[in-house]
Structure 1
Amino acid sequence: MLEIRGLDASYGDTQVLRGISLDVRQGEIVTLIGRNGAGKSTTLKSIMGDIPRRSGSIMFKGQEIVALGPERICRLGMGYVPEDRGMFGTLSVLENLTIGKPLGPRAWPLERIFGLFPVLKARAHQRATNLSGGEQQMLSIARPLYMGADFLLLDEPTEGLAPVIIDTIGRVVSQLKTEGLTVLLVEQNLPFATSVADRHNLVENGRIIRTMSNDDVIREEGELLAHLGV
């Protein structure tokens, strides 16, 4: 579904990604793990077209998208959930959820979204800034579903959340896989990552230095945690 080959990306004169190559098959959950500043979030932004200086190849659903901007990539069915969750503070939960236009038959109707996220229905007319961190994360995941994404880029969805809320986010991500979605996930929380993902890519200095099975990561968790400085 997603094939990346030799992806380079830069912020100004500073090169951040150096020849990133990875694959995500339809229906998989695949992670990017690594130290802070390794290039994980930059990889997601590059895929989504948020970084203008890119080279290499990004094939999504058989189409080359490395030269496309975020709006056109979104129309192909890719959704981006940023680390800061991207809330519009002056808008209600419902307004945040429906601010984007649904695109095609993949778009989830509100009834389906509220079935997966009942708390959003209960809070629909409250300001988004009044939600808890976990509720805001659910809203940020729900928004691309409403717009019709079937491939999600999730950037650190568990950061700053209490363990009980992390468990809830884990159930949500697993349910999305059951619903047929594909996910590329940036995650520092290795136990969470191994609870939901199929494969993992270890990123260091803008390169993927190792692709690991879920069993590999579970078996080597101690060494990886020491490497990541967690």
Structure 2
Amino acid sequence: MQIFLGTEKGLFELLPTGGVHRICCPELDVMDAVFFEGYLYVCSPTSGVYEVRGRLRRAVAGNCWRLVKVGETLVASITGPSLYDAATGDKIADFSEYAERYGWRFLKGPAHITDIAFFRGKWVAAVEDGNILAGDDLATLRPTRFWGDSHALLAAKELLLISTSTGIYYTQDLENFAMAAGLSGYTHAVVQCGGYLATHMISD
């Protein structure tokens, strides 16, 4: 399994020996990277989405925050917030009207989508900072009642877990939300590791 490290000076791969080597893009601030249909796609919060085929080709302009495989499509989260097909450059959805209506914001500019998950037959998207979105497909996502500085989503059995700046929240139905007991603080990820749930918490 390959492990990539996105940095402010390009994309690196973690070697089995414990070292690292840079794969590409020393001039790019890299937020995310995904192999898709035989090619590497790189997501930069300052420069957009690039396809790497020996040389860089910008596929989507703007500020990119996340790449997520949804079915046969590689979806890019772009500031707005909006979603694009990273391979074709086509816009999938634009949520800027919701951002204006509900006061979504981000410390460094307009809000953006940080993660996408499939839960109980619905697509769900997290917004930094704004409402959790849910819908039958990505183009028809609508705001739920949950509002927060949301960073990551995890569908874990009967629960959807939401990593936020104040802790981990959960919901069973996308209508009622509660904070998980015993954990509070600035969490930036939530993942399943074997039989455990793990989170990345930013220290004071």
TM norm structure 1: 0.26
Q: Relative CO higher for 1 or 2, CA cutoff 8 Å, sep ≥ 6?
A: 1
Between Structure 1 and Structure 2, the one with more strand by share is: 2
Between Structure 1 and Structure 2, the one with more helix by share is: 1
TM norm structure 2: 0.28
